[in-house]
C-alpha cells in the first residue's frame, strides 16, 4: 500500500495534532508538521511530501511567499498545495489560486474534510502525466500556474468548467476562478480566444 506523505504547516499545535492523528489512523498517511516557513523549507531538503497544507493567516508562516517560492522552484513546483484560513475571505482565495494553490480549506474544518481535500489534491496532481506538465511549464508568456495550465489543457479539448472540475477533482467554483485568472493574465475575453492563444503557445499535447 502506497503511503502518502503530508507536510502540515501551522502555528496551532492542537490543530496539527488532530490532523496528524486522524490521517495516520487511516493507515496510508504519514504527517510531518512545521510551525514556520523556515522550518518547512528546511524539512523539504530531505523530505518530499505528496501534499502541503499551509495556514494563510499565521503571523509566523508567510504562506503566500512560501507558495510563490515553491512554485518557482524546479524541484517543488508540482507538489499539491492546500491553503487554510479562518476568514473565508474571497480575495485571499483569488490570491492563493493565482499563485498556484490547488485548493482552499476554511477553518474550522472536520478531519474528514481535510482528508477529502488532500485526496483530491493528490489525484489532481496526477490527472495529467508529469512529463506533459513539465513540458508545458514555462512555455507560455503569461506565467500561468501549473493548475491553470491543466485547466487550459482541458479547455482546448472542449470540456466545460463542470467537466474540468470532475477531471481535476476540484469544485466548479474553483475552476471558474482559475478561468477568470487565466483570462486576466492573458488579456483575453473568452474561452474561444483562450483556445486559440493556447494553440499559438504550443500547448496542444495529447495524454
Domains in the chain with CATH codes: 4-125 (3.40.50.2300), 130-201 (1.10.10.10)
Average pLDDT over residues 175-200: 78
Average pLDDT over residues 67-81: 84
The 10s digit of each residue's pLDDT in 88-121 is: 677 877 888 888 888 888 888 888 999 888 888 8
Average pLDDT over residues 155-174: 84
Q: Are 4 and 26 in contact (CB under 8 A)?
A: no
Please tell me the distance from the alpha carbon of residue 182 to that of residue 179, in angstroms, as a whole number: 5
In this predicted structure, what is the pLDDT of residue 92? 75
Confidence of residue 137 (pLDDT cuts 50, 70, 90): very low
Greater model confidence, 82 or 85? 82
In this predicted structure, what is the pLDDT of residue 61? 53
Widest Cα–Cα separation across the chain: 50
In this predicted structure, what is the pLDDT of residue 203? 47
Q: Are 186 and 201 in contact (CB under 8 A)?
A: no
What nine digits make up the cell of 24? 495516520
Pick the closest to residue 179 from 156, 207, 202, 206 (CA basis): 156
Amino acid at each position: 500500500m502506497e503511503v502518502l506523505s503530508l507536510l502540515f504547516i501551522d502555528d496551532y499545535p492542537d490543530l496539527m495534532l488532530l490532523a496528524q492523528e486522524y490521517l495516520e489512523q487511516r493507515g496510508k498517511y504519514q504527517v510531518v508538521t512545521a510551525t514556520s516557513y523556515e522550518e518547512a523549507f528546511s524539512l523539504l531538503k530531505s523530505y518530499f511530501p505528496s501534499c502541503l497544507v499551509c495556514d494563510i493567516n499565521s503571523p509566523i508562516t508567510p504562506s503566500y511567499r512560501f507558495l510563490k517560492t515553491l512554485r518557482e522552484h524546479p524541484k517543488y513546483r508540482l507538489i499539491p498545495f492546500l491553503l487554510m484560513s479562518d476568514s473565508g475571505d474571497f480575495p485571499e482565495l483569488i490570491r492563493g489560486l493565482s499563485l498556484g494553490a490547488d485548493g482552499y480549506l476554511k477553518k474550522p474544518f472536520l478531519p474528514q474534510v481535510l482528508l477529502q481535500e488532500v485526496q483530491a489534491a493528490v489525484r489532481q496532481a496526477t490527472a495529467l502525466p508529469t512529463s506533459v506538465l513539465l513540458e508545458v511549464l514555462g512555455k507560455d508568456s503569461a506565467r500561468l500556474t501549473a493548475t491553470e495550465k491543466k485547466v487550459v489543457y482541458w479547455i482546448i479539448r472542449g470540456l466545460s468548467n463542470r467537466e474540468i472540475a470532475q477531471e481535476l477533482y476540484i469544485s466548479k467554483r474553483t475552476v471558474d476562478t482559475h478561468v477568470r485568472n487565466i483570462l486576466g493574465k492573458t488579456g483575453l475575453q473568452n474561452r474561444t480566444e483562450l483556445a486559440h492563444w493556447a494553440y499559438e503557445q504550443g500547448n496542444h499535447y495529447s495524454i
